[in-house]
Amino acid sequence: MIRLVLFSGDTKLQRLLAPALGSEYSVLVESNRAKLQQLAADEQVDVFILDLDSNYSSLQEQLGFFQDVHDSRIPVVVMTDDNRRSTVIDLLQRGAYDCLRKPPSLPELKIVVRRAHEHAILKKELERTKAKLREASRCDGLIGSSARSQVVYDLIRRVGDLDAYVLITGESGTGKELVARAIHNLSHRAKAPFVAVSCGAIPETLIEAELFGHEKGAFTGTNGTREGYMEQAADGTLLLDEIGELSQQTQVKLLRVLQQREFSRLGSNKLIPLKARVLFATHRNLMDMVEEGTFRRDLFYRVNVMRIHVPPLRERTEDVALLADYFLEHYASAYHKPVSEIEPSAMTLLFEYDWPGNIRELENVIQGAVIMSEGESIGPKDLPEPLQRMDLLGVGDTLPTGSFEDQLREYKVRLATKAIHECNGNKTLAARSLSISRAYLHRLIRMSGEASDAA
């Protein structure tokens, strides 16, 4: 039985609605906003029906009702006369499920209510599935369900509580510092400081003073004693990011510190024990630098005890949806925007894009899309121009082959496959997201299988 709550001042509609719908529907007429909110909070309602009849209640009261129940994520079906069409458009943009002209056709009303109910059920199932997937696909702040991400998580857990040196490699924007933080948080040093240092961001003339510290008067401009990053890390973890940017001279001094586990401040001969665990990160190929003579071989073997490579986003596109949803939720909350989902057409563009800037670029794209969005979802128009102009077929610079019909069929199959992936295998939800029937979706899936067999 589908439980309906009708908000209407039309007494005739109130008397006729329940008998007309029949025993499959339970209809409750309610106008008290506090009781409506309680019904929604207790999940005693499947669908709300809002009657925007201008003859029976004020517009302000009706809009207040909509706001009360919309926050509960229970679908709202709007009925209206011609005097309130502009208001209906506004409510549809704000998330109302559908609109019916008053007086409604009984068959149409039943279909819309049933679909609204099914949509709400599927949406809840999808949210639960996503929540479980997110929980299973995280490692202390890292997000990803792909096989390559799971390899990284496994290595993090293996080295987390060991004091071995770890070299973290990967392109810029892949999350190397997040990997280092995860290692720190999974170790017995988790309550001690985590200090991240970008070696490439510090001038060569200051790098030693920054790392080891200095005494008063050690060099021109020093007014007092300063602890270096190695002291600041104490019993915690020190991340030396972009280690490939260090000069040969600094490499020699760092190697000695790592071997002896002690150092001295500039201007002092007093040895200070290195208590912190040291992790290293770079976007450069250190082995190539060794062969070129720009990175010391002995230092390379010292830091490369355990290596964790963070793959670029283009090699783990399965993670795009999870990451995009995470950034969407974060920035929607930060900017107090009602955006709650990414339209399938926009998600397709995210999947097809090459992401040269990796996760950092994806975060920036979603942040900008949240700002640009004027409704509750992100569409292609909210994405940057390079993504909007991108070839949806994902064939790069090569031209599509075959007849027009073959190209069109291939495009449809690709959209169907991606929709199913986005909906975590739920074909009913995938068909709805593409506005096609489930039977047609199955035909597209069979086309995909036939094409694979033919190949």
Nearest to 119 by CA among 90, 144, 97: 97
Amino acid identity for residue 327 in this structure: F
Residues 304 and 326 occupy one common structural domain = no
Amino acid identity for residue 365 in this structure: V
Residues 222 and 286 occupy one common structural domain = yes
Structural domain ending residue among the three candidates 273, 290, 311:
311
In angstroms, rounded to a whole number, what is the distance separating the alpha carbons of residues 296 and 147? 34
CB 160 within 8 A of CB 183: yes
Sign for the pseudo-dihedral over CA of 406, 410, 411, 413: positive
CATH code, 414: 1.10.10
Answer yes or no: is 141 within a domain. no
Q: Give the alpha-carbon dihedral of 419, 423, 427, 432, to 10 degrees.
A: -70
Nearest to 9 by CA among 68, 49, 67: 49
Instruction: Tell me the pTM.
Output: 0.61
Residues 113 and 153 occupy one common structural domain = no
Percent helix, strand and coil across the chain, each to the nearest 5: 50, 15, 35
In angstroms, rounded to a whole number, what is the distance separating the alpha carbons of residues 348 and 144? 18
Query: For the chain, how many structural domains are there in total?
Result: 4
Residues 107 and 69 occupy one common structural domain = yes
Long-range contacts of 255-261 (CB under 8 A, 24+ apart): 255/296, 255/298, 255/299, 255/302, 257/212, 257/230, 258/165, 258/299, 258/302, 258/303, 259/302
Amino acid identity for residue 375 in this structure: G
- Give strand pairing partners of 164: none
CATH code, 383: 1.10.8.60
- 103 to each of 46, 76, 420, how far by Cα in Å? 22, 17, 38
Residues 374 and 412 occupy one common structural domain = no
CB atoms within 10 A of CB 432: 20
Let me know how long the chain is: 455
pLDDT at 66: 77
CATH code, 191: 3.40.50.300
Answer yes or no: is 136 within a domain. no
CB atoms within 10 A of CB 282: 23
Residues 218 and 256 occupy one common structural domain = yes
Q: Per-residue pLDDT tens, the chain, 455 aa: give them.
A: 888 888 777 777 777 777 878 888 888 887 677 777 787 777 778 888 888 765 555 667 667 777 777 767 788 888 887 666 777 777 777 778 888 887 778 888 888 888 888 888 877 776 776 666 555 556 777 888 888 898 999 999 999 989 999 999 999 999 999 999 999 999 999 999 999 999 999 998 899 999 999 888 777 666 778 899 999 999 999 999 999 999 999 999 999 999 999 999 988 889 999 999 999 999 999 999 999 999 999 999 999 999 999 999 998 888 898 899 999 999 999 999 999 999 888 888 898 888 999 999 999 999 999 999 988 899 888 999 888 776 444 433 333 445 555 666 777 787 788 778 777 778 887 877 776 777 778 877 877 664 444 44
- 164 to each of 107, 189, 290, 306, how far by Cα in Å? 70, 13, 22, 7
pLDDT at 74: 83
Domain range for residue 333? 315-390
Answer yes or no: is 131 within a domain. no
pLDDT at 133: 57
In angstroms, rounded to a whole number, what is the distance separating the alpha carbons of residues 25 and 39? 16
Answer yes or no: is 421 within a domain. yes
Residues 6 and 57 occupy one common structural domain = yes
Structural domain ending residue among the three candidates 311, 327, 348:
311
Burial class (CB in 10 A: 0-12, 13-18, 19+), 454: exposed
Burial class (CB in 10 A: 0-12, 13-18, 19+), 278: buried
CB 267 within 8 A of CB 213: no
Answer yes or no: is 134 within a domain. no
In angstroms, rounded to a whole number, what is the distance separating the alpha carbons of residues 336 and 354? 30
SS3 341: strand
Q: Are strands 47-52 and 2-7 parallel, antiparallel or unpaired?
A: parallel
Nearest to 78 by CA among 57, 49, 113, 110: 49
Answer yes or no: is 450 within a domain. yes
Return left, alpha or beta for 402; rule: phi > 0 is left, psi -120 to 50 is alpha, else beta: left
End-to-end CA distance of the chain: 49
Residues 259 and 230 occupy one common structural domain = yes
